[in-house]
Structure 1
């Protein structure tokens, strides 16, 4: 499913999401040049959990599914210096404990929990508004 109509060529964006994978476009001028040197964003298909920010892509984020989320994962998210973290919990929405989400809230970081496809759409919308946001996306299936 294609995710967005808005596009920011200077940021990492989610271009598509299907069960087991997310397609990311790289910002213009990033370390992954487009094929043939054309002035277009390169696309990368990821099949393991990841964290995406407008200026950074963290591949192979450690938790592979919702049950694997632990304190250390939220501690890492708290270091990203963002306004809000969008937690995509896989194909279905699951809510982590208040202890885990409270680690972000106590540092003034908002957290929104939704399924991964919704987190991708929300991430794209917020970065097109110029917001400092991170999407922590659990990718179930192929990357397991």
Structure 2
């Protein structure tokens, strides 16, 4: 799937999702990462939803989101209740979806000026 929306004032734009990884600007990232329109945190530790811990979400919280979009690979997979609670108890929204849906949703919300963090789980 190729995305083509332009956001010229952003440092980072999601441009596509494929089996090889996620295309950010002109680079395909093949390992898990966190993203805002202005910050890229590469090499995020977890590679699958069942590996996520509440501690992993601290890196996303440090980016001061209102909403975290969790892309869980080619299929939607929910993390543990403890992981979800680590955000929800702080008033931070969490939406869990496959990577393609997370990329599309991130671009829309970022363009609207929302404080969104995309957290992509990739096998690396």
Q: Give the root-mean-square deviation of aligned CA atoms.
A: 1.2
Offset of residue 98 of structure 1:
2.0
Aligned partner of 2:34 among 42, 48, 51: 51
**TM-score (normalised: structure 1):** 0.80
Q: Would you tell me which structure has more strand in proportion to its own residues? A: 2
What is the CA–CA distance in structure 1 between the aligned matches of 2:65 and 2:54, rounded to whole Å?
18
Structure 2 residue ranges without an equivalent (≥5): none
Structure-2 residue corresponding to 1:19: 19
Say which SS state the counterpart of residue 122 (structure 2) adopts: coil
Q: What is the TM-score of this pair, normalised by structure 2?
A: 0.92
Q: Could you list the runs of 4 or more consecutive aligned residues of structure 1 that deviate by over 6 angstroms after TM superposition?
A: none
- Tell me the distance in 1 between the aligned counterparts of 2:7 and 2:17: 18
| Separation of aligned partners in 2, 1:7 and 1:101 | 31
**Residue 138 of structure 1, CA deviation:** 0.7
| 1:95 equivalent in alignment to 2:78 | yes
Instruction: Give the match for residue 29 of structure 1.
Output: none
Higher Cα radius of gyration: 1
Q: Is the 8 A contact 1:20 1:139 kept in 2?
A: no
Number of residue pairs the alignment of both structures matches: 123
